[in-house]
Every structure is written in C-alpha cells, then in structure tokens.
Amino acid sequence: MKFVERIPNTLRWILALPIALLFSYCVRYVSIVSLQLFLGHKLDGTEIVYLSIDNILGIAVMISMVYIIVPKHKFISCLILSIIYGIFLSIASGFFFVESTYNDATLEMPLWKYIYSLAVSIITIIYSCVAIYNHEKYEEG
C-alpha cells in the first residue's frame, strides 16, 4: 500500500482501470494454469470449474485493484465500475442470445453454461460491492 500511496493522485486515477484489468488477467491466468497442473489435464473454456474460477477471480480482483489504487471515493469508483461491467455483460449476453436464437448459430457450449456464467458474474459483482461497502463502513468506525 505504501508504494501505491507514493504515486500522484492524477496518475492513480488514470492507471486504475488498466492496472485492474492487467492484474485480473494475470491472476485468472495463473489460477487456471495452477488448476490444470493440479488436475493433470488441460481445461477447456466450457468446464464449470473453469467458468467459476474465471468469473469469480477475474471480477473480484478487478474490483479490488480499483479499490486499492484510486485515492478517493473508493466505494463509488468500484460501484461505477461494477455497474458498467454488469451492463456490458448483460448487453453482450443479450447479443449472444439473440444471435444464437435467430441465426441457429452453433454454440461452443450449452446455453445453460452461458446463463450460469452470467449469473456467477452478477453475483460476484454484487458480493464485491457489498464487501467493499462493509469494509468502508467498518473503517469509518
């Protein structure tokens, strides 16, 4: 935390999202590779374990990194990021469902796994925001 506090506030605001996305990607990658080494076989993107770890870790790390990096209004920043990410997920899922329904597209995995992935993402977003809110409330006293 001391290192982050040395960075000027303007630069912290500018770098918050890119650093959060980079850390999110790195943690997701390391966790999936570790899980593959532990299980002894390569995971494809359609396994429930892969989907769960990818969604939960990716979102939780991204929101946590924004909370660590931004200098002020931490909860509001995380909430705005969560809302934007949730809207993006919903729109992307909507486009996917419409495209697969009307064009008889070949799905790489069953529809229920896409719905599961979306539900896990939304639940993780809500949980992360509630945890950050409770953390800030606890710090205030």
Put simply, whether the predicted model's pTM sits higher than 0.85 gets the answer no
Kindly list the averaged pLDDT for each block of 10 residues, start to end, along the chain of length 141. 81 90 91 83 74 88 92 90 90 80 67 84 92 88 68
Q: List, in order, residues 6 or more apart from 129 with CB less than 8 Å away.
A: 63, 75, 78, 79, 82
What distance in Å separates the CA atoms of residue 110 and residue 115, rounded to the nearest whole number?
9
Q: How far apart are the first and last CA of the chain?
A: 21
Which residues are CB-contacts of 56 (< 8 A; sequence separation ≥ 6)?
A: 120, 124
Task: Quickly count: other Cβ atoms within 10 Å of residue 69's Cβ.
Answer: 22
